[in-house]
Amino acid sequence: MTKVLHFFKTYYPDSMGGIEQVIFQIAEGCTPRGFDAQVLSLSEQGAARNQPLAHHVTHRSRLDLHVASTGFSLSAFKDFKELAAEADLIHYHFPWPFMDLVHFASRVRKPTVVSYHSDIVKQKHLLKLYQPLMNRFLNSVDAVVTSSPNYARSSPVLQGLGDKVRMIPYALDESTYPVPDAARLAFWRQTLGPRFFLFVGALRYYKGIDYLLEAAHLTGLPVAIVGGGHLEQELKAQALRLGLNNVHFLGGLPDEDKAALLQLCLGFVFPSHLRSESFGISLLEAAMYGKPMISCEIGTGTTFINIDGVTGRVVPPRDAPALAQAMIQLWSEPEEATRWGGNARKRFETVFSIDGMVDAYAGLYDELLGRA
């Protein structure tokens, strides 16, 4: 088996975000194709080696410091160097400035891949200091992978890397999702009513939930919000000020409940308004469940998943009235909404298949290892 070492700041079970899910899907999917995947991440729980997770192995270095969304760890230098020496190929997951330092300090001489998950958007001032290191790092690796042509076209960083950039869309393995039982479906149908809009995701600064609340105020239509985050109390206070009895904050839920809500909802609303949302895994989940979608045009992969007038509606970012109008259209035109949902499912099957993603990554690994 060829050994591949993935390196990212967080991973299961400490964190369960979209990037972690992508790493998991790549690691699991490439195992039957002859690649033994290992993942090294940082953790507040401390160091640990050789922890089994499904069909691959995870390692943890102790998280010592967390500044500006960047985790730092002294022990990670040693841990990474030891694991990289045993690996045949290194797969980095960007952005994470500390990773660049570890890469150069370890003097990596193995084939290297970077999955470019997002531009750095929030820390603009720190980016000016980090940019020389970032450019040196991205130019030093063998291949940089983006998840959509939209992001490749709109990212100045990716545009500067030329032929080094490859495009491999994210994908989901539908067989890993639970099938909700009748009792769970009945519970949520009774709780939320026969028709409702759904949002699933962490309540972060770039998700645009404040605009969704304004749209819910304008329409009076029922909205279920699944997920937690440091903005949760602020958003609940906004909902209280607006008198939103039609918005349900459900917090984090087990996968079985999330699957039930995705199956039952009328449509999926994804109001992310900043480029920090480079793709939108939960938007892709909605497509997998055959749901019409509403998202914003921010020049990223969200509009690669959701095509206006084909799989749903795409509206301008930070525009609550436009978001409200799209919700009203889905609510009042059920036949159109059903057609868009069917198109979303077909697009998921043809563009975002798990076999397509892992075959592409396995092919890239083989190419960089000189086996193409």
Query: What does the pLDDT look like over 305-363, one tens digit per residue?
Result: 999 999 999 999 999 999 999 999 999 999 999 999 999 999 999 999 999 999 999 99
| Structural domain range at position 209 | 179-351
Percentage of the chain lying above the pLDDT 70 cut: 98
Sign, CA dihedral 337-341-347-350, equals negative
Please give the mean pLDDT across all residues of the chain: 94
Angle, vertex CA 251, rays to CA 249 and CA 254, nearest 5: 130
Same domain for 95 and 194, yes or no, is: no
pLDDT class of 124 with cuts at 50, 70, 90: low
- What's the CATH code of the domain at 27? 3.40.50.2000
Same domain, 12 and 55: yes
Distance CA 10, CA 80 (A): 14
Same domain, 26 and 159: yes
pTM: 0.89
Do 280 and 231 reside in the same domain of the chain?
Answer: yes
3-state helix, strand, coil in the chain (%, to 5): 45, 20, 30
What is the mean pLDDT of the segment spanning 117-133? 80
Q: Is 156 exposed, middle or buried (0-12, 13-18, 19+ CB in 10 A)?
A: exposed
If asked whether residues 39 and 155 sit together in one domain, one would say yes
Q: For the residues 186-208, what does the mean pLDDT come to?
A: 96
CA angle in degrees (0–180, nearest 5) for 40-277-145: 55
pLDDT band at 120 (very low <50, low <70, confident <90, very high): confident
Residues whose CB falls within 8 Å of the CB of residue 370, separated by 6 or more in sequence, listed in order:
none
Q: CA 372, CA 365: separation in Å to the nearest integer?
A: 9
Is residue 254 domain-shared with residue 361, that is, in the same domain?
Answer: no
Domain count, the chain: 2
Is 167 found in the same domain as 299? no
My answer on whether omega of the bond before 95 falls inside 30° of 0, hence cis, is yes
Sort residue 162 into left (φ over 0), alpha (ψ -120 to 50) or beta.
left
Confidence category of residue 125, pLDDT binned at 50, 70, 90: low
Reduce the DSSP state of residue 137 to 3 states and report it.
Answer: helix
**Are residues 93 and 208 located together in one domain of the fold?**
no
- pLDDT for 372 equals 57
345 CB-near residues (< 8 Å, 6+ apart):
287, 288, 289, 290
The SS3 of residue 269 is: strand
- What number is the average pLDDT over the span 4-16? 92
278, 334: one domain: yes
Contact status, residue 125 vs residue 101, Cβ threshold 8 Å: no
Q: How far is CA 280 from the centre of its chain?
A: 5
**Residues 183 and 40 occupy one common structural domain:** no
What are residue 197's phi and psi, to 5 degrees? -95, 150
Give residue-wise pLDDT tens across range 274-298.
988 989 999 999 999 999 999 999 9
Residues 25 and 150 in one domain: yes
Q: Which amino acid is at 134?
A: M
**What are the tens digits of pLDDT across the range 42-82?**
999 999 999 999 999 999 999 998 776 788 999 999 999 99
- 21 shares its domain with 91: yes
